[in-house]
Amino acid sequence: MSEKEVKNLEVIFEARIERDDKIEPKDWMPEKYRKTHIRQISQHAHSEIVGMLPEGNWITRAPSLRRKAALLAKVQDEGGHGLYLYAAAETLGISREEMYEQLHTGKAKYSSIFNYPAITWADIGAIGWLVDGAAIINQVALCSTSFGPYARAMVRICKEESFHQRQGYEIMLTLCRGTEEQKAMAQDALNRWWWPSLMMFGPRDEDSPHTAQSMKWKLKRKTNDELRQQFIDQTVPQADLLGISVPDPELKFNSETGHYDFGEIDWDEFWQVVKGHGPCNKERMEARVGAWEGGAWVRDAAMAYAEKQEKRKVAKAS
């Protein structure tokens, strides 16, 4: 294809997105669109899968059967979310194995929030309330993204997420209505998870060079700072209802703007964790790589069994 022809296709492509046409896997698309989507969708998938680790750790230690069943169902959902997203990325021509490889070698990133440890049971409450809460805000914005398979996966995921957040908030509510120690545990969890949750929306708009392109492709419908503000505005009243306080002395409702003003995020910490120096980066990767390598014989055995069965069927038929 000549350069002029490609330019032409690009113009048609941009116009399609402009009028809210969805792009499907076999449609022509600019290489950059394909690459950006592979990167974002696979990172999103990795986040769902790695996100199972801090919570999975608490399944056997949940305080009641009701809590255990709910947590188990939530963690299973996250595994499902990862699978929907991996499948969406595969439609763009990358294989599942390539994506795992990128994750395991550190070439692909996942959400930094999962590099923080879940130390107490209250952390499970805080994760559902804050981390899933922040994820929902990001994901609702993506339900109308331009790439069809990604948008469809997002719609399905959003339907499932609201139970995650509600079960987390219910845990917090129970703790806050419990003994002094239980309430202190809830406060401690909020103290540790608040700032990392705000970091989930990514760097400030002025430090986010891809925002303009992503907005154009509707891969982003709102900027990082807009989404972060939305999260703060809806979460602070929920903390008030619990009777615990958000660990930000500068947090204050601004009646002029109708939004909460808030303090500066520790961006050094943010970049440290992104670069792999968070409290659990190493542990998370060891768990993932361990599961992949430890499961290799199972995958091989299943494939060998399938081939044997297939041969038998053919032999019988002939």
Partner 1 sequence: MKKDWPLWEVFVRSKNGLEHRHFGSLHAADAAMALENARDVYTRRNEGVSIWVVESKYITASNPEDNGEMFEPAQSKVYRHPTFYDLPDEVKHM
How far is 287 from 50, CA to CA, in rounded Å? 9
- The smaller minimum CB distance to Fe ion, of residues 37 and 81, is found at 81
In the list 105, 309, 311, 312, the residue contacting partner 1 (rule: CB under 8 A) is 309
If one asks whether residue 55 binds Fe ion (CB under 5 A), the answer comes out as no
In sequence order, what are the residues at sequence separation of 6 or more whose Cβ sits closer than 8 angstroms to the Cβ of residue 102? 42, 108
If one asks whether residue 261 binds partner 1 (CB under 8 A), the answer comes out as no
How far is 172 from 186, CA to CA, in rounded Å? 6
Q: Least distance to partner 1 from the beta carbon of 20, Å?
A: 17
Query: Which span (10-18, 220-228, 248-256, 296-304) binds partner 1, by CB under 8 A?
Result: 296-304
If one asks whether residue 312 binds partner 1 (CB under 8 A), the answer comes out as no
In the list 177, 207, 306, 311, the residue contacting partner 1 (rule: CB under 8 A) is 306
If one asks whether residue 6 binds partner 1 (CB under 8 A), the answer comes out as no
- The smaller minimum CB distance to Fe ion, of residues 80 and 247, is found at 80
The count of chain residues that interact with partner 1, using the rule CB under 8 A, is 27
What mask of x and - would describe binding to partner 1 in positions 158 to 177, judged by CB under 8 A? --x-----------------
How far is 244 from 188, CA to CA, in rounded Å? 9
In the list 55, 90, 132, 248, the residue contacting Fe ion (rule: CB under 5 A) is 132
If one asks whether residue 299 binds partner 1 (CB under 8 A), the answer comes out as yes
In the list 8, 76, 144, 254, the residue contacting partner 1 (rule: CB under 8 A) is 76
Q: Which does 132 bind (CB under 5 to 8 A by kind): Fe ion, partner 1, none?
A: Fe ion
In the list 55, 90, 132, 248, the residue contacting partner 1 (rule: CB under 8 A) is 90
If one asks whether residue 123 binds Fe ion (CB under 5 A), the answer comes out as no
How far is 196 from 270, CA to CA, in rounded Å? 8
If one asks whether residue 164 binds Fe ion (CB under 5 A), the answer comes out as yes
Q: Least distance to Fe ion from the beta carbon of 198, Å?
A: 18
Burial class (CB in 10 A: 0-12, 13-18, 19+), 297: exposed
Closest CA to 86 of 96, 101, 74, 76: 96
Q: Least distance to Fe ion from the beta carbon of 167, Å?
A: 10
Q: Which does 302 bind (CB under 5 to 8 A by kind): partner 1, Fe ion, none?
A: partner 1
Q: Which does 155 bind (CB under 5 to 8 A by kind): partner 1, Fe ion, none?
A: none
If one asks whether residue 67 binds Fe ion (CB under 5 A), the answer comes out as no
Q: Which does 90 bind (CB under 5 to 8 A by kind): Fe ion, partner 1, none?
A: partner 1
How far is 50 from 114, CA to CA, in rounded Å? 7
Chain positions contacting Fe ion, by CB under 5 A:
48, 78, 81, 132, 161, 164
Chain positions contacting partner 1, by CB under 8 A:
24, 26-28, 73, 76-77, 80, 83-84, 87, 90, 95-97, 152-153, 160, 299-300, 302-306, 309-310
